[in-house]
């Protein structure tokens, strides 16, 4: 967690308050998966997507508590890699660190890939890659400032998303109660039933659902810079999970009640599409007709994508910093600037996300789904490692010393692993996702080769 520069020891600063940690977790989870990916999941499974979010939310809660148990007992930077290294072995630690970094590179790329789609709602002539590149540069600069500035930036970004969802739910309830044309609770079962496509599609929708929940484990990353991790981490986990479930399930339920789910489509955010098609809230201005709700929610979904990209650059920088401390990455990544931000690690991670800009330039159609499936595959490795490492962690520590414990241990570990295995199996059943499953063993082999090279260099 530190580096020596001359006679001074420079450390990551503990500048995150409880409100920052809670909003970072919310900001990481309430993003493109909900605002954009929900269109794909609704089209895939219909109203049954509500049950998919309940099931996925339960599993991610178990995984969050596993990460939280270890982080509150031993708050460190680069938590995933640290715990895997300490309680399982050298290669699991190496794998955990680099895979989590790779995961958030992919998540960051997914966010960048849809930013241009939102911008084109207003400015259709701006290429997708131009919008992506502009956001990349701005967010990278912000992350080079102090952690407190990052925390405040993410706090307000996440707050905008939360308030927007609350407003959506309230507005939706008003439109439903006042009998707006097309709005009916019967929309949840009238168009083919609650389960219109059967169990296979329901299980397949879990892949997109779990992408939506990705980011909640950021709570563990923040432990190294939290003011009082033993209190703030458990509190954040308990408060965040029910809020996420409430926001996801209520907001998507409102959307499907307002408008027949089978007419939403997948050409943009359903939060924007539905209000456009309803024609509600249109006003005439000197610039022409403006749909106020659709415009407002397009601003929100754009800020949501930027917010999650912000969280991605933050976590990537800290993970590379932790890897460098362990000797699993070049020591160059330990270099901090005057604001105690890991400058080289942040810049390198940001440079890697430029691949998203290239993808949007070369193949703008379908870029999001390609990157998303890879992100879920990488997330499955990370979540699986958390489950296994926490099981091993519990075997090696005094249970009485734990201030925060995983519920239903060890049954919860077996349930989570079975679910993750199911996730990979379902990905093999989709032509758009099967290649991501194939990448997993290749990626692990590449990392193992890198690990052996590192060990050989250490001997010389």
Q: For residue 165, give the DSSP letter.
A: H
The answer to whether 373 and 427 have CB atoms below 8 angstroms apart is: yes
Long-range contacts made by residues 60-63, C-beta under 8 angstroms, separation at least 24? 60/210, 60/213, 60/216, 60/241, 61/237, 61/241, 62/406, 62/407, 62/408, 62/412, 62/415, 62/416, 63/216, 63/217, 63/383, 63/386, 63/387, 63/416
The per-residue pLDDT for 215 is: 65
Write out residues in the chain with pLDDT < 50, as ranges. 1-10, 12-15
Q: Quick check: pTM over 0.85? A: no
Mind listing the pLDDT tens digit for each residue in 348-382? 988 888 887 777 677 666 667 777 788 888 889 88
Residue 192 region, left (φ>0) first, then alpha (ψ -120 to 50), else beta?
left
Question: How confident is the model over 274-310, as pLDDT tens digits?
Answer: 766 666 566 666 666 677 777 877 888 888 788 778 8
Residue (of 247, 349, 252) closest to 26 by Cα position: 247
Q: What is the pLDDT of residue 8?
A: 32
Using only C-alpha atoms, the chain has a radius of gyration, in whole angstroms, of: 22
CA 342 to chain CA centroid, nearest Å: 21
| pLDDT value for 29 | 61
- What is the predicted pLDDT for the residue at 9? 39
Domain extent listing, the chain: 18-112+147-290+371-399+408-454
Query: Taking the mean position of all CA atoms in its chain, how far away is CA 107?
Result: 7
Residue with tokens 């590179």: 105
> Topology of 18-112+147-290+371-399+408-454 in CATH?
Amino acid/polyamine transporter I (1.20.1740)
């Amino acid at each position: 967690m530190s580096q020596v520069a001359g006679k001074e020891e420079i450390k990551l600063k503990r500048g995150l308050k409880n409100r920052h940690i809670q909003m970072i977790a919310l900001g990481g989870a309430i993003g493109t998966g909900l605002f954009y990916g929900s269109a794909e999941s609704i089209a895939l499974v219909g109203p049954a997507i509500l049950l998919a979010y309940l099931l996925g939310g339960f599993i991610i809660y178990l995984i969050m508590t596993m990460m939280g148990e270890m982080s509150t007992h031993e708050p460190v930077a680069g938590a995933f890699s640290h715990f895997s290294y300490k309680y399982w072995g050298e290669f699991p630690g190496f794998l955990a660190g680099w895979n989590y970094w790779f995961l958030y590179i992919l998540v960051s790329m997914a966010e960048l890939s849809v930013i241009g789609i939102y911008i084109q709602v207003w400015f259709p002539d701006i290429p997708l890659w131009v919008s992506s590149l502009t956001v990349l540069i701005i967010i990278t600069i912000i992350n080079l400032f102090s952690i407190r500035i990052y925390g405040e930036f993410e706090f307000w970004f996440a707050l905008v998303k939360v308030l927007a969802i609350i407003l959506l739910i309230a507005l939706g309830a008003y439109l439903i109660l006042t009998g707006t044309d097309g709005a009916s609770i019967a929309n949840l079962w009238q168009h083919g039933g609650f389960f219109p496509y059967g169990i296979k599609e329901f299980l397949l929708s879990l892949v997109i659902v779990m992408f939506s929940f990705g980011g909640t484990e950021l709570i563990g990353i923040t432990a190294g810079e939290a003011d009082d991790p033993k209190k703030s981490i458990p509190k954040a986990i308990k408060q965040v999970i029910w809020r996420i479930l409430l926001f996801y399930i209520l907001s998507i339920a409102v959307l499907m009640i307002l408008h027949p789910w089978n007419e939403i489509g997948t050409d943009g955010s359903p939060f924007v599409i539905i209000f456009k098609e309803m024609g509600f809230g249109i006003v005439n201005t000197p610039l022409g007709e403006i749909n106020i709700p659709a415009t407002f929610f397009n601003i929100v979904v754009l800020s949501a994508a930027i917010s999650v990209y912000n969280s991605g650059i933050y976590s990537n920088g800290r993970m590379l910093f932790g890897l460098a401390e362990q000797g699993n990455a070049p020591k160059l990544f330990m270099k901090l600037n005057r604001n105690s931000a890991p400058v080289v690690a942040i810049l390198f991670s940001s440079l890697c996300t430029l691949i998203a800009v290239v993808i949007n330039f070369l193949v703008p159609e379908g870029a999001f789904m390609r990157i998303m499936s890879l992100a879920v595959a990488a997330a499955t490795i990370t979540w699986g490692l958390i489950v296994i490492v926490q099981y091993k962690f519990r075997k090696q520590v005094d249970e009485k010393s734990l201030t925060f414990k995983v519920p239903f241990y060890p049954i919860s570990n077996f349930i989570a692993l079975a679910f993750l295995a199911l996730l990979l199996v379902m990905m093999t059943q989709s032509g758009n996702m099967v290649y991501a499953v194939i990448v997993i063993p290749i990626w692990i082999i590449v990392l193992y080769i890198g690990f052996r090279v590192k060990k050989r260099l250490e001997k010389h």
